[in-house]
Structure 1
Amino acid sequence: MYQRALLLFYLITFCSSGLFAQQIVWKDTVGTQKAQDTTVRNFSHLYDISDGIKDIGRFIRHDTTTKVSKKRSGISILPNVNYNPSIGFQIGAKVVGGVYVGDPENTTMSTFATALNYTTRGIIVGYLMHDTYTPKNKWNLKGAVFVAKAVGLDYGMGIGNNIPTDIVQEETLNNPERKRYVNQYTVYSFNERIYKNLLPGMFVGAGAFIELKRNIYTLGDHEYTPLDVYSDLTNYNAHKYNNNGLMFNWQYMTRDNPNSAYKGIYTDIVLRMSQTWMGSAQNAYQLQTDFRKYWPLSSVRPNHVLGFWHWGSYNIGGNLAYLDLPGTGKDAFARTGRGYTNGYFKGNSFFYSEVEYRFPILRNQFLSGVVFGNVQTANDRLGTKLFQQWQPGGGAGLRVLFNKATRTNLCIDYAFGRFGQRGLFLGLNEAF
C-alpha cells in the first residue's frame, strides 16, 4: 500500500511540473464552430497519465530528450481497478477508446468500451459497449452486450419512508429500517439502437433489447424478502424470467465530447416496451428520460464547467420485474446516486437530478476537481407518490487526465447520503 501511494505521489509530482515549466495562454474560442473544434483537437499543451509515465521513464534513464510525440492514440488499455460500495473492490482489464469515423468538424466522436472484471463481492462481469456516429452524423448506433454473475445489495422498494402498516410482507418490501439483503443472479443482456439524423443535432430511432435473468435468489435465511414479496404481488417468477422488447427513441445532442463535455446539451427519450410475443415474462411500458446540460464558465479554461443531469424512468403500464425496477444506479453506466449503493432507492417510477461544478487545478489539465450534489425520489406501494419525498446526496472528487486525445479522466470521488450511506467511488470518464 505504501509503495503504491509513493508511486502515485511521484506520478502527480512529475505531471504537475508542467504547470511551472510553461505559461499556457488559451485563445478565446467563443466564435465559429470551426475555431472551437480546432481548439478541442489541439491537445499538445495538455498533460495526461501517459505523459507522466514517459517522464518517469526518462527520469529513471536520465534521458533529457524533450521531443514530444504529435500523435496520440484514442485507445486506452489499462488494468480496471475500481471501487464503490455496491461492488466492493474490482480488478480486471478494460479497453476504452474514441475515434472519429468522419471529419471531426461535422462528426461526433465515436466511443467504445470493453472489459472483463472480478470484484470482492463475487461479481464477474464482461461487456462490450459502443456509441457510433457515421460521417456527418447521418446515423448513430448505440448498443451493448453484457454477461455477468451479479451480486446486488437490496434495501427494498421506495424512498425510505417509515409508513405504518400491519401487513408484514408490505413492511418487508418497503423496508423502513433499511435492512440489507443480498441478491445473487446471472444475467445475459443485449441491446441495440439505431438513430437517423433528421435535423442538426436531432435524431429519431428504434431498437430492441433482450435480457435473460437466471439463478435468482437472496442469500441468507429470511422468512420474507423484498424480492419474493414483490414477485408474489406481481406474478413474476422470483428465480428466473425474460425481459425482451422494443425501444423507440428521440435524441438531441450538441455536446462537444461524450467523455467530458465542456458545453452543449444531450437529451435522450426512450419508450421501452417489454413484449410477451418477444418472450418477455409480462408486457410492461416504461418511459426513460436523460437530459444533460453543460455551461462553460471560462473562455480561457475550458474545463471550468457547470453541469446539470436529469435521469428518470416512469411507469406507464404493466409491472417490471423486481430486479428491473428503476432506481439508484440503474442508468446505463450505473453512475446515478453517488453517495448510495446501487438500487438503494427504487420504485415503479424514479426521478433523479444532479448538479456538478467542475474546476481546473493545474493549467495543463492533468488535475482538476469537482463538487456535486444530487436528489432522487421514487414511489412505493404504501401510498408515497413520485416527487412527494426526496433523498439528497453529495460529495467532491479529483480528476486525473488519463487520455488527453479522448478527454478520458480517472475519477476519484467521495460521496455521502442519508441512512449512513457513504463511500469512495472510482471510475473512468465523468458520471455524466
Structure 2
Amino acid sequence: MFRYIAPLLVLLLFSCVESVEIEEQETPSLLVVEAALTDEFKTQHVRLTRSFGFETDTIPPETRARVSVETGQGETYSFSPSADGTYSSDRQFAITPGLTYELVISTPDGTVYRSDPEVLAGTSAIEDLYAVRETNQNGTDGVFIYLDSSPGEGNPTYYRYEYDETYKIVAPNYSSFDFRLTDYDPCTPTPEIEYTLEIVPRTEEVEVCYKTVPSTNVIQNDATTLSEPNIRRFPVRFLGSTDFMIRHRYSILVRQYVQSPAAFSYFQVLEQFSSSESIFNSVQPGFLNGNIRAVGRGEAPVIGYFEVASVSERRLFFNFEEVFPDLEQPPYITNCGLHSSPEAHLSYCIDCVAFPDACGGANPCPMSIVESVDLGLITYVDDNAVGIGTCPGPYIYVERVCGDCTVLGSNIVPEFWIE
C-alpha cells in the first residue's frame, strides 16, 4: 500500500484550491500506515512511517511504536519493529474468514490509533496469467499481461492488483578482464603521477544480472459491471515492444486481492489523486480519510488503510523472441560506444615554478583512463590496436553500465528464476 501512498503525501499535506506561493515551512508529522494482512499463513507485516513534504526527499520511519492486531475472538498478535519501520508479527498467522480484525498502534507521544473492525470480503483464485502481443489504444505495438480468475467464497466483486516484475540484464560489452588501479597518487609535485594500472581477470559475475521492480500505481477491477462473475482477460500490465525490461527474459508476479467496498472506494480515490496532471492547478479534495483513527484525539490524523484480504498470486515468464519473433531486441538502456583516451593525466599539484611547460593550456582530450577507473566510470573492453578515439590511448573501454550489469541490478539469481 505504501508504494501508492508515499508519492501522495506532499499532495495531501499541501492540497488547496487557490494558487499559493510556496514557502519553506515545517511539515506536520502525520503517521502513515501500510497494513494489508492476508489469508496466507505467514509472517504478516505492517509498515509505519511519517509524512514528508517539500523540505525532505526521504521517508522517515516510525520505529518506536507498539503494534498489534486484535481479533473478534479476543486473540492478540503482537508485531516487532525493524529499522525501516516495518513491523513483523511475532508469530505466523492467516486471516480467517468470518473473523473480525482490528489494528492497534500506540506511538511514543501517547497517541493510540485503532482501525475499524475488518473482515474478509470473499475469496478468488487466479486461474491463468498470460502474455498477448497486441496494439494498445495509443497504437503502440507491445505485449499485454492478461489475467483470468474465478470467484470462490463470499461472491467477491471488488479486486486490487499488485505486481513485481523481474527482468534479465546482459551487459552488451562485457569482458572477462577489467582494469585494476593501485598505488594511485594524483597529486605529485612533478608532472608525472604515480599509479599502477593492470588488466586482470574478473573475479565477480558482472555479465548477467536481474532487477525486480514493484508496481506503484493502483490497479483495480469492479466486477459488478461484468455480465458474469468470472474475470476474463483483465489487463494488468502493458509493455511496449521497445521496453528495455523485455530485452532478454522477463517475469511478472501478479497478486490479486479481494477488497471490501470501503477499501475499493479508498484506493479508487487514492488513484484519482495520483492521476492528477498537476497537484497545484486542480481542485483537491483535501485529506483522505481511511479506516484508522486516533482514539479520542481528532487532531491527530493518520494516512493509510488497514486492509484484510484474500490473496491469490501467479507468475509468468517469457523471452522477447517468443512474443516478438519478427523484431530486433529493444535497445540497451544507454548508447554503448567504444572509447579510448590517454592512460594517465598530469599531476593535480604540479610545481609550476619548477615545471612551467606543464602548467599552461587546456587539455583537449577526454578524461584519462586512470581518472575514470579511479571514479568507477569505465570498464575494460580490449587493447586499442586500431587507434579508436580522438586522443587514442592503449586501451578501449566503455561506460561501466555497458560492461558491468551490477550498475543496473543484482548478480544474484532470484530463487524463483527459471531459464
Task: Please give the range of the TM-score, normalised by the shorter of the 2 chains.
Answer: under 0.3
Return the index of the structure with the highest Cα Rg.
Answer: 2
Point out which structure has higher relative CO (alpha carbons under 8 A, 6+ apart): 2
TM-score by length of 2: 0.23
